[in-house]
Structure 1
Amino acid sequence: MSQSPLSGEAKSQPSPGEPVTALPSAPDSRLARQLAFILEIDKLKSVLRRSVLADGSRQENDAEHSWHLAMMAIVLGEYADEEVDTGRVLRMLLVHDLVEIYAGDTFLYDPAEAAEQEARERAAADQLFPRLPRDQAVQLRSLWEEFEARRTPDARFARALDRVQPLILNYATGGGSWQTHGVRAEDVLAHQRVISEGSHALWEYVSQLVGDAVRRGYLAA
């Protein structure tokens, strides 16, 4: 009788419904590392952001944020100032927040958190990406670095979308995290100007949206 490729099971069997920390062994070490990585990044679904869902029911998590951005890249790609590779933008957006599994979400308008963000996220990247086979670890780490540096058209447009999405949610919820944390219009415009590096059309829209949010009392003038 042939042996199942998943025959290397853990010694102590969890009870039905009890979470496991590792999958059964795979036929080769490459697949094993890839599957272990896939299980590890499931933790992104538990990283909460300050943004609230458009219906106001609860906080958004990082995985939902990444999915939303990927859809924005598909729908809004025509507004990129430079020619972009939508496939690369999608990959970048799906990778860019993975480090928050270990580093946690950083609130853009908290100076203390922002000051430590780069160090925390680089340490997290050092911990996360090497879980993959080397070629994929290098590929995903490179996409993450490119997004952070914003030196390419793909990265600049990806970062623009990353900044637009929470603005839309805050507006849709009557102020959302702006209200909760006392954020002012001048702070929003200063931190979100990076949008203009990737899309002047989206930056123009965001500027109008912020002005309307002030008029409606969603955002302090």
Structure 2
Amino acid sequence: MQATIDFILELDKLKGVTRKVRPLGLERYENSAEHSWQLALMAISLVRFAESPVDVNRVIRMVLVHDIGEIDAGDTLVYVQDGWEERKARELAGVQRVFGLLPAGVGAECLALWQEFEDAETAEAKFAHALDRSMPILLNLSNNGQSWRENNINHAQVVKRNGPPIKAGCPALWVYLEARLEDAKPLGLFGS
């Protein structure tokens, strides 16, 4: 019991990991725990649009563990390409440490879910990636391009970085987003 309680309390630190986009109507930035929770509900809501049939419970579990490494590594804007391998190595070390707090079988199961998400090869992982990439787009479209403007991210960067994984896991969602991104071009929502 104590190992599991230690793990649960360690997870509370995910609430302190600040992301680059603001929740709707709030001046503060969202945290990674809020992001993971929202993706779990997106999975339930959008599962019928997944590219292939998926086990939604597995997807939910995956999106709930996918950012655990950020407790140690922090969050990085998806558009930053330099140092990607080093950041991923820090995330892996972080998830190994955090999941290592759990009894061996449970920790190994969580680590396997995290790795499945990272590998993005199964239908569940592809769908989870589509959700992960689409939520910041939805927030930016609703927040007047807040993080795109603050970080000087242009339309082409958004499409190039997010289009392929969203299309691979949830094509209907990409069709929806692509049209809205195109409509947003003349509105000044993007950086230059």
The RMSD of aligned alpha carbons is 1.2
Q: Distance in 1 between matches of 2:184 and 2:86?
A: 30
Instruction: Report the equivalent of 1:213.
Output: 184
The higher relative CO (CA closer than 8 Å, separation ≥ 6) is in 2
Q: Distance in 2 between matches of 1:107 and 1:126?
A: 22
Counterpart amino acid of residue 53 in structure 1: P
Does residue 1:103 correspond to 2:103, yes or no? no
Q: State the 1:166 CA deviation.
A: 0.5
Instruction: Report the equivalent of 1:183.
Output: 153
Residues matched between the structures, number:
191
Q: Matched residue of 1:40: which SS?
A: helix
Scaled by the length of structure 2, the TM-score of the pair is 0.96
Where does the alignment leave 5 or more consecutive residues of structure 2 unmatched? Answer: none
Instruction: Report the equivalent of 1:88.
Output: 58
Q: Distance in 2 between matches of 1:43 and 1:205?
A: 34
What's the CA shift string for 1:138-174, capped at 9, x where partnerless? Answer: 1000000000101110110011000000000111110
Q: Distance in 2 between matches of 1:36 and 1:139?
A: 17
What's the CA shift string for 1:88-127, capped at 9, x where partnerless? Answer: 0100011101110001001111223534321111121221
What's the CA shift string for 1:59-90, capped at 9, x where partnerless? Answer: 00011001110110111111101000111010
The structure whose residues are more often helix, as a share, is 2
What fraction of aligned residue pairs are identical, expressed as a percent? Answer: 41
Map 1:26-65 onto structure 2 (within 5 A).
Answer: 31-65=1-35
Say whether the 8 Å CA contact 2:50–2:170 is kept in structure 1. yes
Map 1:18-167 onto structure 2 (within 5 A).
Answer: 31-167=1-137
Instruction: Report the equivalent of 1:15.
Output: none
Q: Matched residue of 2:20: which SS?
A: strand
Does residue 1:204 correspond to 2:152, yes or no? no
Q: Distance in 2 between matches of 1:84 and 1:76?
A: 11
Q: State the 1:220 CA deviation.
A: 4.2
Scaled by the length of structure 1, the TM-score of the pair is 0.83
Q: Distance in 2 between matches of 1:136 and 1:115?
A: 27
Say whether the 8 Å CA contact 1:99–1:124 is kept in structure 2. yes
Counterpart amino acid of residue 67 in structure 2: D
Say whether the 8 Å CA contact 1:107–1:113 is kept in structure 2. no
Q: State the 1:56 CA deviation.
A: 3.9
Q: Distance in 2 between matches of 1:54 and 1:197?
A: 27
